[in-house]
Amino acid sequence: MRQRITYIHEAEGAFNPNQVPVGDDSLSIQSLQGSKEARVTFGFKELPQELWQVLKQCHELHVRWVTERPYDAVSPFSSRVSPGLHVFYTPASQDQPTSQLCPLLREVFSTQLKCTEPEESFISPPILSTRFASTSALQFYQSLSSLEELVTYIQQKICPQGQEDKDNACYERAASLLSADSLDIDYDNISHALTISAYWSQPSSSDGAGWNEKINKDEKGAHKVEVGLLAIQEAIEPEEISVGGFLAVVGEDSKLKPTLFSFPSRHHPLPSTSIYTVNFQQPTGLHPTLQLSIPRSSLTPPPAPADSTCALHTYLTLPSAIFADKYQLSTTDTLFLQSHNLIALRSIAGETDLEAPDWVTKRWGSNLLLELATPPAKPSTSDNDDGDWEITIPLHLRYLHPSASGYRNTSIPWPIVFWACTSEEGTKMGTNPFDRVNLGWDGLFGPRTMFYQLHPSLSEESTLAKDTTAQLKLVEQIKVPVLGIEDGDGDRSQARNIEVITVIVILAGFFWVLWKLGRVVKTSGFGRNRSPLVAVSKDEVKDKKE
């Protein structure tokens, strides 16, 4: 097992090396303000049998979980995906996807996952190149607000068992995932290693004291623990990120070692003022319209290389209860696109059947990539420079199961909004030690595309509308009208009444058709002279013609 712990702090005056005393077998972090990433890599022999038996049937498996809480994604951890659980999977044999994957996901993350078999529950995203594929063959998503069941699984199945299990560092590290903002799990059959990476945008303590931790050397000396205390520096090239600070290997180094290095990166930060908000136009009805509001000051082209071409995009993750009409959004009607400030639908995959109700859709839902229009460089006098740039996306709700109230609630995670820019030929993105790929949307672009992501921000109206004790979330709730059912003893439900009336109407129509057919038979004279099934001879036909 290998561990790498990275702290990112502000560059000027926010860090003093004396805050990190280094001992012979430990390293202490004292009152450090900043973000943190912890990465642990396991070999096959360190995993429980039920886990590696599933992994060896996978060509690759990538899990991305993101909290519903708003958080800051700082460089070099600036990439984002929509809140919830995302699973990207490619089977080792295309003809035989493993049937053990879904049971394992339910055991590890939640028994409520709607995952039965990969070929039934997963969708197939588009792949740009079968030779240089950077997108997994299958994809799954479901809303998941907590990692409680994952923490329990790690403590019971992965942490070493002993007399003082609940006091060891493994249990504490697993419990710390409850406050993480994002979690990545990666496996591929080339390295045969499972990597778990967690990110915290701020210290988990609520007293504002910063990070206060003691990182110990592995008792047996078999596990290597690397610690980095870094700050973002000004990069020379626009496609690069530069970091500087200190590094140390716990138990090997007697003091912090200074470092400074740069690397090309796919994901780049934008200023904290580059924000967007999401809401649904009211009333939503069965055809809700998603609205993206972006301050015009946030739409300044990103600091990409001078010869780059950039375009603004949004990527939506839609559960099965809501979908987009691919025929409507793929139109070339300029009036329609301009009215919504859209350029084009670039990709759509998943459940796109326009007529199917939610209870017959087996797969989790759909996702789509849209290129967005931006305001003109020199707006006319009629444009409101102070107003937000509004982008609207028409969506549609599926019919849901009846309920006693006549309504059901469904939720949709906030989409992500980003600039995609071209980079120079030969740029080696893979040299980034913090590289993050397999996010679902990044595979829809070329391997050397650079991304600049806007920051989701709750609007003042939505913040004021929430109770002060309620937790603000990057998830929109929709109240869906459904068939109402009156529950209670001795009462006949509306659904039962409609079912009985439907049967009566069908039977009445059937007998009416029979009665009409009977009248036709009587008036035509069939049955008195000749059966309509008796063939007419050629001579009779000739006589009639003469």
Answer whether residue 533 shows pLDDT above 50: no
Rg (CA), the chain: 30
Report residue 151 CA to chain centroid gap.
Answer: 21
Best CA proximity match to 145, nearest among 174, 106, 188, 178: 178
pTM, two decimals, is: 0.85
Domain boundaries, the chain: 1-34+203-263, 40-71+79-199, 275-481, 494-545
Tokens of 508: 């009445």
Summarize the confidence of residues 369-397 as an average pLDDT: 81
Most confident of 272-281, 494-503, 537-546: 272-281
> For 235-244, how does the pLDDT look when each residue is reduced to its tens digit (9 = 90+)?
888 889 999 9
| pLDDT confidence tier of residue 492, bands split at 50, 70 and 90 | very low
The verdict on whether omega for the bond into residue 76 sits within 30 degrees of 0, i.e. cis, is yes
pLDDT of res. 464: 45
Alpha helices for 219-376 (secondary structure H): 326-329, 334-340
pLDDT of res. 267: 94
Answer whether residue 401 shows pLDDT above 90: no
pLDDT of res. 380: 53
Report residue 545 CA to chain centroid gap.
Answer: 76
Phi, psi of 3, deg, nearest 5: -125, 140
Least confident of 54-63, 195-204, 395-404: 395-404
> For 94-137, how does the pLDDT look when each residue is reduced to its tens digit (9 = 90+)?
777 678 999 999 999 999 999 999 989 999 988 765 444 467 88
| pLDDT confidence tier of residue 540, bands split at 50, 70 and 90 | low
32 in Cβ contact with 59 (< 8 Å): no
How wide is the angle at C-alpha 351 spanned by C-alphas 109 and 343, nearest 5°?
110
pLDDT of res. 531: 47
pLDDT of res. 102: 94
Summarize the confidence of residues 530-535 as an average pLDDT: 47
126 in Cβ contact with 315 (< 8 Å): no
Mean pLDDT of the chain: 85
pLDDT of res. 28: 92
Answer whether residue 470 shows pLDDT above 80: no
pLDDT of res. 271: 92
Answer whether residue 166 shows pLDDT above 60: no
Q: Can you state the percent helix, strand and coil of the chain, rounding each to 5? A: 20, 30, 45
Answer whether residue 365 shows pLDDT above 60: yes
Looking at the DSSP bridge assignments, the partners of residue 420 are 311, 451
pLDDT of res. 181: 97
Determine whether 448 is exposed, middle or buried from the number of CB atoms within 10 Å of its CB (0-12, 13-18, 19+): middle
434 in Cβ contact with 75 (< 8 Å): no
pLDDT of res. 1: 83
Most confident of 43-47, 511-515, 528-532: 511-515
Q: Give, for 87, the enclosing helix (H) or strand (E).
A: strand 84-91
